[in-house]
Amino acid sequence: MLQGISNKTLYNVGLSYKKADVTTRGNFSISKEDQKTLLETAKRRGIKEIYVLSTCNRTELFGLADHPFQLIDLICKFSKGTVEDFIKVAHINKNNQAINHLFRIATGLESQILGDYEIVGQLKEAYYLAKELNTLNVYLERIFNLALQASKEVKNTTDLSSGTTTVSYAAIQYIKDNVSDFSDKKIVLYGLGDIGKNTAKNIVEYFQHNNITIVNRTFEKAADFASKHQLNVASHTELKSIINETDILIVATSATQPTITEESIANHKELLILDLAIPRNVQPSLGEQTGITLIDVDELSKETDKTIEKRKQQIPIAENIIAKYLKELEEWFAFRRLTPALNSLKKSLENIQHEVIEHHQKKYDSFNAEHAELVTQQIVNRITAQFARHLKDENTQVNKSIEMMQKVFNFQEETINAENN
């Protein structure tokens, strides 16, 4: 696809969650400030078309270079990683493989959670930074734009991103599917770690704010969060009495032993308990009490597993969408390759046109040069258009055709290359 549009190769070098563990990914992470410096350094080294993507799940460079090691060296220079460690977990793609990889990233096919579109925002940040530092050429911009268009179509026309993929959201989905009049139920969320916060934000979308109470061992943390999201708050000392007034208890504490025990709940209390913690933070025997339904992470994970299986069925559809945009990109590249040759052809024809008109002006006093130029220009345009159709024909041997045009109309390949670059 890229052949003939640049004297350099498009490389994608990087690492991701597929081969690199979280520690290794952390070592190769590149800060926002260092990403800027990396791009500026690349330009000084003669790598003028490049962008960098660094997230918690991947660090990757896409750039036009003579050799992939030029990009690998940049990653290692601006991270804490070494070349030796990078090689163990790295992937290297070039030209069409690199382009296809970018499209798969943009459409969520390469996300750690299949269909996760958080990466799209991160891709856009990479694009804007490269744009700001002038490290994108017309080809990389086109690749980027079509990848984002493919991403949008996959998101809007497939179910690749639908359903439950996190425990915090699976808890909400379980309530919606299994509790009648769920929006009117009183809920207590106990614990405000990462899972607790994410769960609270999901709860807010589906439940009445005045029915949600936040409890945390550190009251100030709970009060601050509740204030920002217009929720109720209670102190840790009130937990037992609050539980006995609620319908649903969500436990998202991060203790190493149960924080909710049989002593926490009155006998025969009708209560749904969702334990989102690992290890369990709710005493398992509570699930045996009359009126109590206890759901743990393993049960909720079945919801996420079902979602991933459903999403996998959407992969062929997403890949067909990618193929459509890759074909559009290939056609655009083909046109870009032909344009310099066609421009040179047109220029040669116009030189002949002007020579002939000038000759007739000198030879015939009554010669209407203006009219002749108008008519012959139409002929030049039609000949050029005819050659364009010929070069776009699938059966045309483009290189041989351009070579023939060069010989017949006496324009040089150097002119084409100069315009191409």
And the tokens for 85?
């460690």
Helix (H, G, I), strand (E, B), or coil: what is residue 54?
strand
The answer to whether 251 touches 191, Cβ cutoff 8 Å, is yes
Helix (H, G, I), strand (E, B), or coil: what is residue 69?
helix
Task: Please give the torsion angle defined by the CA atoms of residues 388, 390, 392 and 396, in that order, rounded to the nearest 10 degrees.
Answer: -140
* Strand ranges for 8-131 from DSSP E: 9-16, 50-54, 58-65, 91-94
Q: Which amino acid is at 22?
A: V
Number of Cβ within 10 Å of residue 341's Cβ equals 24
The answer to whether 406 touches 413, Cβ cutoff 8 Å, is yes
Quick one: DSSP state of residue 18?
T
First-to-final CA distance of the chain: 16
- Integer angstrom CA distances of residue 41 from 45, 48, 50: 6, 10, 11
Reduced 3-state DSSP string for 156-206: HHCCCCCCCCCHHHHHHHHHHHHCCCHHHCCEEEECCCHHHHHHHHHHHHH
Strand order in the sheet with 232-234: 232-234, 212-215, 187-190, 248-251, 271-275, 292-295
76: annotated active-site residue: no
Strand 187-190 to 91-94 pairing: unpaired
Catalytic residue among 22, 56, 379, 385: 56
* Strand ranges for 229-383 from DSSP E: 232-234, 248-251, 271-275, 292-295
The answer to whether 325 touches 149, Cβ cutoff 8 Å, is yes
Active centre residues (catalytic): 56
